[in-house]
Amino acid sequence: MTDISVRNIGRAGRITLQRPKALNAVTYEMVKAITSALAQWRDHPEVTLIVIDAEGDKAFSAGGDIADLYATGTAGNFEFGQTFWRDEYRMNAKLAEYPKPIVSFLQGFTMGGGMGVGCHGSHRIVGETSQIAMPECGIGLVPDVGGSMILAHAPGHLGAYLGTTGARMGPADAILAGFADRFIPQDHWPDLIAALQDNGDPAVLNTASETAPQGRISDLRTQIDAYFSAPDLRGVIAALQASDSDFAAETLKALLRASPLSAACTLEMMRRLRQATIREALTLEYRFTYRAMEHGDFLEGIRAAIIDKDRSPNWRHDPMRLPADAVTTMLAPLGDHELTF
């Protein structure tokens, strides 16, 4: 079995992620395969829409495959990661700007790099098991693969909360925050995919859509907006510390687990990207990820979370003593290395 299946069936271009044992983590080869397929189908007269799904019950895709990124980065080779992220971001832009409908079915975990594959299309379907998140700050990155744009466009200050804490969104929360479009019970999905292949018309989704079960975030928006309206990381922490609510305590604990540099940069990105296009967001993300191995907390974050699993990262900065220029340095233009499309 290959990691990804790309084929034409009826009126649909089909992409299926096929690494269920690895929670369909996105590899560089998968990025290249998706990019190639999108180019092939763009002007194909018989392909009227794209359907993206994944094998397994646990995850559409729980993120990017970071094993090679860690191995090359710890060996002092930062170029592999820079190339991976550059080509992945170009793929994200192609998905977001695609001229034909893209229908994605997002069961289980959809996180990080998986979000970049599944959440930029025109019709993003969630079901009972869907859990969407951008947990990058916990491993020393920032919400990327275009996720920063979706977060920045979310209502109020939801984006800052979701982006810095990595909080998981159930189906209703994902729709509220802009990561999904409609809830359809998962037992309907096989028949819907068959219908999409037969007639190439996403209108078949309309009759199957239902109201998603009540989410968690909608009732917390007043608190989220109060805490995350602060201008910087120190201000957000202070606002959370000043509250006696259980949610504030829970949120503070999650925020303090994140890389302070990543969280501070994420808050600044939320401010800059409120009216941004996908390309503007990806360009800003790439400035951070280009530097993340050498100058950020990425390698230490992966060590603590994935390699040694001690969950005790030694971040470069204290959250209350982050140097004033740390954020501007990580998000500064890259000159000749700036992301292009």
Structure tokens at 195: 């219908």
Mean pLDDT of 89-116: 98
Is 263 found in the same domain as 313? yes
Q: Is the pLDDT of residue 181 over 90?
A: yes
Confidence band for 1, pLDDT divided at 50, 70 and 90: low
Is 255 found in the same domain as 280? yes
Domain extent at residue 326: 217-337
Which residues, other chains included, contact 33 with Cβ-Cβ below 8 Å and sequence gap of 6+? 4, 6
Is 44 found in the same domain as 175? yes
Q: Which of 144, 173, 268, 285 is catalytic?
A: 144
**Coil, strand, or helix at residue 305?**
helix
Which residues, other chains included, contact 289 with Cβ-Cβ below 8 Å and sequence gap of 6+? 81, 82, 85, 141, 142, 144, 298
Is 23 found in the same domain as 81? yes
Distance (Å, whole) CA 267 – CA 223: 17
Q: Kind and range of the H or E element at 87? A: helix 79-96
Mean pLDDT of 88-92: 98
CB atoms near residue 154 (< 10 Å): 21
Could you tell me what percent of the chain has a pLDDT over 90?
98
**In total, how many domains does the chain have?**
2
Confidence band for 67, pLDDT divided at 50, 70 and 90: confident
Residue 203 lies inside a defined structural domain of this protein? yes
Is 325 found in the same domain as 222? yes
Mean pLDDT of 39-58: 97
Entry pTM: 0.97
Q: Is the pLDDT of residue 89 over 80?
A: yes
Task: Judge whether 64 counts as a catalytic residue.
Answer: yes
- pLDDT at residue 85, as a whole number: 97
Strands (E), 107-149: 109-111, 123-126, 131-133
pLDDT tens for each residue of 201-254 = 999 999 999 999 999 999 999 999 999 999 999 999 999 999 999 999 999 999
- pLDDT at residue 213, as a whole number: 95
Task: Judge whether 250 counts as a catalytic residue.
Answer: no
Mean pLDDT, the chain, integer: 97
What's the distance, CA 41 to chain centroid?
24
CATH of the domain at 8: 3.90.226.10
Task: Judge whether 181 counts as a catalytic residue.
Answer: no
- Report the candidate in 218, 310, 297 with the shortest Cα–Cα distance to residue 262: 297
Q: Which of 13, 53, 63, 64 is catalytic?
A: 64
Q: Which of 13, 113, 116, 200 is catalytic?
A: 113
Residues in the chain: 341
Q: Is the pLDDT of residue 324 over 90?
A: no
Q: Which of 53, 136, 181, 297 is catalytic?
A: 136
Task: Judge whether 178 counts as a catalytic residue.
Answer: no
